[in-house]
């Protein structure tokens, strides 16, 4: 069989068999509803509470500060929409960055267009970095919420979340009030970056099960005690009535196990993948002219390689790679069905033709050095073939 | 990619086998070192800013006005590559189409031969249709047959929102098949409802033309 190389770990990861094992009983014999008032329900509730406690310990927070959701998108939506709506008496100004995931950006745009909020979208520098100073300068008397992602899903840039959080908490002390609060989407950071929430100084944080070799359809929102959110859905009293609906117990247990497993190998995996990431970047640089590494060279997730190949269109390359059993993506999986170029690459100040030629390779547990060799061997003739078909010649100022 | 299904609904790949063949083995593309002077008509459409640009080069036999050669280069996705490759075959096969025949080639004809394209990729086969017509005009221009050139002028439909028939055509191609959707894309008639009957007529016309 031909080698298969999955380099789309930022889109989703393969469920770890050890996670599946933990989940299976709760998909069969342990089927009780955790809200039921009988032993079958109690047993399931106990298991769920125990998972919640373990997750809380791993994040250095209290169990009642963890809210289970259906994934990263819901957590982001709930944090942004829920906080803005519940706290609009304090002000209607929000701050975010132009390179957030659409789950944050679209929520912001909705509040701006339909609910009378004002939003400041911070523009990153050419490497995709947002500075603490930029955030602090954008603050207004009526700013109630700041949302800056921990690590970018397309270009892997790591933001100074702890510094931003620290600066905001000083600002609040100075102003003697509880807002603006700070939310971060940490979906891509899981398994690589420090998730100690005490050190990050964040008030809300989004995590997603499927990015950490856990199940899809499960996520969590950390919300600091005292934070008020307006629910997005209504019904029972589960998750303190902020997120009603019978809990996905198997998913919750799976996510807790998954986070435990990735945290346990975080340091080694970070070191291992950094070497492979740089091997891929350097190898492409060496073999293929006219490319640009999108995102910061070092403030970058150890598993992310995002490169614009000039003069050609990314989707065509994805299909050629697919035929060679290499699975990569253009931008984020959420936007690959749309024809618009990546909003992240455009926000770096790149023109459309550069954004259209961007390809994201995201490494993970399964990635080996031989995989990278195979990609480096396969890629150059494909790029050459597509460039030969193209009438476009991108200005060299964008890749030198 | 839920909108991407093959006609027989069995093929798990995003595109039909014919599309794949033209995508992986494109026909008649313009080689890097080719001499432009060999060709007597050139056409161009789109820009990389919209995600695709297409250039075509034709060699037209001056007396019969049949297309002997049709070469192309595109900055585009898989569908753009496949539909241009297919169009190049269609206009030059069996002795070549006459320019008048080629002008009658419709995006649906290319789609048909390809065994279908995802709806959101329909735009790509329209591009090569347009580049072909641009090249046909170029041939007539170079041979001083100005009466045969067809210049596509835009007509303003809504003077307030400055929306042209071309904008409505693009909106329909983008999948806006109702007045409401076209209005969302173009704002046509929102401040000027008197033009709406004309807009509805154009939507029907373009729907028929491209999807009919």
**Is residue A299 predicted with pLDDT exceeding 50?**
yes
Which one, of B160, B111, B173, B117, lies nearest residue B3 by Cα?
Answer: B117
Marked catalytic residue, from A334, A349, A368, A369:
A334
Instruction: Say if residue A141's pLDDT is above 90.
Output: yes
- CA dihedral in degrees (B166, B169, B171, B177; nearest 10)? 150
Q: A240 to each of A67, A71, A229, how far by Cα in Å?
A: 8, 18, 11
Between A376 and B121, name the one with better pLDDT: A376
Cα A331 from Cα A350, distance rounded (Å):
14
Of B23, B50, B123, the CB nearest to A319: B23
Which 8-state DSSP code applies to residue B144? Answer: T
Whether the CB of A389 is below 8 Å from some CB of chain B: the reply is yes
A356/B23 touch (CB, cutoff 8 Å), yes or no = no
Q: Closest residue of B to A351, CA-based?
A: B49
Statement: residue B123 has pLDDT above 50: yes
- Percent of chain B topping pLDDT 90: 33
A334 in reach of chain B (CB within 8 A): no
Q: Which of B77, B124, B128, B195 is catalytic?
A: B124
Place of tokens 């001499």: B35
Q: Residue holding tokens 């313009």?
A: B30
Chain B residues in contact with A356 by the CB 8 A cut-off are: 48, 51, 75
Cα B182–chain centre separation:
20
B167 in contact with chain A, both atoms CB, cutoff 8 A? no
Angstrom CA distances, A83 to A63, A231, A356, A363, B152, stand at 20, 9, 35, 34, 52
CA distance B170 to chain A (A): 14
pLDDT at A113: 95
- Chain B residue closest in CA terms to A313: B76
Q: Answer whether B39 touches A (CB < 8 Å).
A: no
Q: Do residues A72 and A206 make contact, with C-beta atoms less than 8 angstroms apart?
A: yes
Q: Is the pLDDT of residue B9 over 80?
A: no
DSSP string, B90-126: HHHSTT--BHHHHHT--HHHHHHHHT---GGGHHHHH
pLDDT class for B13, splitting at 50, 70, 90?
A: low
Residue B3 has pLDDT above 50, yes or no: no
Determine the distance in angstroms separating the CA of B74 from the nearest CA of chain A, rounded to an integer: 5
Name the residue facing A352 among B1, B23, B48 (closest C-beta): B48
Q: What is the pLDDT of residue B205?
A: 87
**Cα B10–chain centre separation:** 28
> Chain A: nearest CA to B32, how far in angstroms?
6
- Contact assignment for A341 to B53 by CB distance below 8 Å: no
- A309 band by pLDDT with thresholds 50, 70 and 90: very high
For residue B159, the model assigns a pLDDT of 80
Percentage of chain B lying above the pLDDT 70 cut? 86
Strand bridging mode A93-97 / A118-122: parallel
Residue B177 has pLDDT above 90, yes or no: no
Closest chain B residue to A386 measured between Cα atoms? Answer: B75
Q: What is the per-residue pLDDT for B1?
A: 34
Give mean pLDDT, residues B166-179: 86
Measured CA to CA, the distance from residue B192 to residue B209 in angstroms comes to 26
pLDDT classification of A338: cutoffs 50, 70, 90:
low
| Residues from chain A contacting residue B53 (CB–CB below 8 Å) | 391-392
Q: How many Cα atoms are found within 13 Å in the side-chain-facing hemisphere of A280?
A: 30
Q: How much is the pLDDT for A118?
A: 98
Contacts of B49 in chain A (CB under 8 A): 351-353
SS3 of residue A66 by DSSP? strand
Confidence of residue B51 (pLDDT cuts 50, 70, 90): low
Reference A9, options A159, A213, A194, A193; nearest CA is: A213
Q: Which residue of A has its CA nearest to B34?
A: A388
Contact B77 A391 (CB under 8 A): no
The distance of A375 to chain B (nearest Cα, Å) reads 18
Q: Does A312 touch chain B (CB under 8 A)?
A: yes
Least confident span in A178-192, B58-72, B123-137: B123-137
Min Cα distance A143 → chain B (Å) is 31
| Segment B69-73 mean pLDDT | 95
Q: How many residues does chain A have?
A: 400
* Catalytic site includes residue B124: yes
Residue A334 in this model has a pLDDT that exceeds 70: no
pLDDT at A332 over 60: no
Cβ within 8 Å, pair A391-B78: no
What SS3 class is residue A304? strand
Q: How far is CA B116 from CA B16, B47, B102, B177, in A?
A: 7, 24, 20, 19
Q: How far apart are CA A252 and CA A260, in angstroms?
A: 12
Report ipTM for this prediction: 0.79
B49 CB within 8 Å of a chain A CB: yes
Q: What is the pLDDT of residue B108?
A: 82
- CB contact under 8 Å between A313 and B75, yes or no, is yes
pLDDT score of B2: 34
**Partners of residue B73 in chain A, C-beta under 8 Å:** 389-391
Q: What is the number of other CB atoms lying within 10 angstroms of the CB of residue A78? A: 27
Instruction: Considering only the beta carbons, identify the residue of A312, A315, A389 that sits closest to B29.
Output: A389
- Given a cut of 70, whether residue B5 has pLDDT beyond it is no
pLDDT at B167 over 90: no
Residue of A nearest to B77 (CA): A316
- Whether the predicted pLDDT of A335 surpasses 50: no
Percent of chain A beyond pLDDT 90?
90
- B159 and B66 Cβ atoms separated by less than 8 Å: no
Q: Is residue A321 within 8 angstroms of chain B, CB to CB?
A: no
Question: Is A360's pLDDT higher than 80?
Answer: yes
Which carries the bigger pLDDT value, residue B88 or residue B111?
A: B88
In this structure, the strands spanning A93-97 and A5-6 are: unpaired
**Axis-axis angle for helices A369-389, A314-323 (nearest 10):** 130
**Chain B environment of A353 (Cβ under 8 Å):** 48-49, 75
E strand or H helix at B205: helix B196-211
Instruction: Say whether B49 and A320 touch across the interface (CB within 8 A).
Output: no
What is residue A14's DSSP assignment? P
Is B153 in the A-facing interface, judged by CB distances under 8 Å? no
Residues 94-123 of B with CB under 8 A from A: 120, 123
Res A365 pLDDT > 90: yes
The 10 Å CB-count burial string (b at 16+, else e) for B66-91 is bbebbbbbbbbbbbbbbbbbbbbebb
Taking 70 as the threshold, does the pLDDT of residue A33 lie above it? yes
pLDDT per residue over A197-248, tens digit each? 999 999 999 999 999 999 999 999 999 999 999 999 999 899 999 999 999 9
Average pLDDT for chain B: 84
A334 assigned to active site? yes
Angle at A242 between CA A183 and CA A72, to 5 degrees: 45
Q: Are strands A66-69 and A181-185 parallel, antiparallel or unpaired?
A: unpaired
pLDDT for A307 beyond 60: yes
Average of per-residue pLDDT values in chain A: 95
What pLDDT sits at residue B6?
41
């Amino acid at each position: 069989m031909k080698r298969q190389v999955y380099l789309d770990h930022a889109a989703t990861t393969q469920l770890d068999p050890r996670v599946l094992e933990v989940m299976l009983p709760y998909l069969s014999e342990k089927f009780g509803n955790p809200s039921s008032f009988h032993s079958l329900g109690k047993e399931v509730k106990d298991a769920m509470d125990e998972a919640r406690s373990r997750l809380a310990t791993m994040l250095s927070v209290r169990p009642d500060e963890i809210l289970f959701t259906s994934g990263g998108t819901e957590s982001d939506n709930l944090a942004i929409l829920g906080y803005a709506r519940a706290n609009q008496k304090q002000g209607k100004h929000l701050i975010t960055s132009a390179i957030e995931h659409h789950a944050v950006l679209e929520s912001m745009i909705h509040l701006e267009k339909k609910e009378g909020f004002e939003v400041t979208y911070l523009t990153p520098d050419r490497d995709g970095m947002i500075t603490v100073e930029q955030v602090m300068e954008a603050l207004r008397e009526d700013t109630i919420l700041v949302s800056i992602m921990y690590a970018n899903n397309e270009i892997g840039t790591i933001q100074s979340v702890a510094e931003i959080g620290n600066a905001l908490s000083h600002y609040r002390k100075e102003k003697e009030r509880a807002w603006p609060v700070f939310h971060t989407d940490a979906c891509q950071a899981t398994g690589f970056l420090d998730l100690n929430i005490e050190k990050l100084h964040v008030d809300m944080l989004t995590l997603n099960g499927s990015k950490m070799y856990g199940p899809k359809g499960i996520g969590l929102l950390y919300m600091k005690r005292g934070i008020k959110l307006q629910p997005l859905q209504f019904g029972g009293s589960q998750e303190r009535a902020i997120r009603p609906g019978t809990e996905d117990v198997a998913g919750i247990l799976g996510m807790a196990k998954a986070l435990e497993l990735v945290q346990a190998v975080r340091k080694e995996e970070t070191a291992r993948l950094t070497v492979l990431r740089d091997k891929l970047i350097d190898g492409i640089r060496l073999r293929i002219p006219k490319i640009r590494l999108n995102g910061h060279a070092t403030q970058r997730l150890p598993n992310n390689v995002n490169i614009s190949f000039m003069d050609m269109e990314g989707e065509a390359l994805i299909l050629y790679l697919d035929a060679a059993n290499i699975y990569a993506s253009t931008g984020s999986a959420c936007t690959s069905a749309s024809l618009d170029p990546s909003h992240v690459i455009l926000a770096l100040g790149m023109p459309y033709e550069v954004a259209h030629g961007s390809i994201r390779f995201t490494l993970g547990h399964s990635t080996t050095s031989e995989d990278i060799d195979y990609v480096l061997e396969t890629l150059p003739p494909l790029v050459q073939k597509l460039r030969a078909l193209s009438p476009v010649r991108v200005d060299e100022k964008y890749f030198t | 990619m839920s909108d991407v299904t093959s006609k027989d609904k069995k093929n798990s790949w995003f595109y039909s086998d014919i599309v794949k063949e033209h995508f992986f083995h494109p026909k008649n593309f313009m080689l890097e070192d080719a001499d432009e002077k060999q060709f007597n008509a050139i056409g161009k459409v789109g820009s990389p800013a919209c995600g695709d640009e297409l250039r075509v080069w034709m060699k037209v036999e001056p007396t019969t006005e049949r297309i002997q050669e049709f070469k192309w280069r595109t900055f585009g996705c898989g569908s753009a590559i496949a539909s241009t490759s297919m169009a190049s075959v269609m206009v030059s096969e069996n002795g070549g189409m006459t320019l008048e025949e080629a002008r009658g080639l419709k995006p649906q004809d290319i789609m048909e031969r390809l065994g279908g394209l995802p709806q959101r990729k329909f735009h790509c086969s329209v591009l090569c249709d347009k580049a072909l017509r641009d090249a046909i005009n170029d041939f007539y221009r170079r041979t001083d047959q100005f009466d045969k050139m067809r210049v596509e002028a835009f007509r303003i439909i809504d003077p307030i929102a400055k929306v042209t028939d071309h904008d409505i055509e693009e909106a329909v191609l983008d999948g806006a098949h109702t007045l409401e959707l076209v209005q969302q894309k173009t704002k046509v008639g929102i401040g000027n409802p008197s033009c709406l009957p004309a807009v509805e007529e154009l939507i029907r016309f373009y729907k028929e033309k491209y999807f009919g």
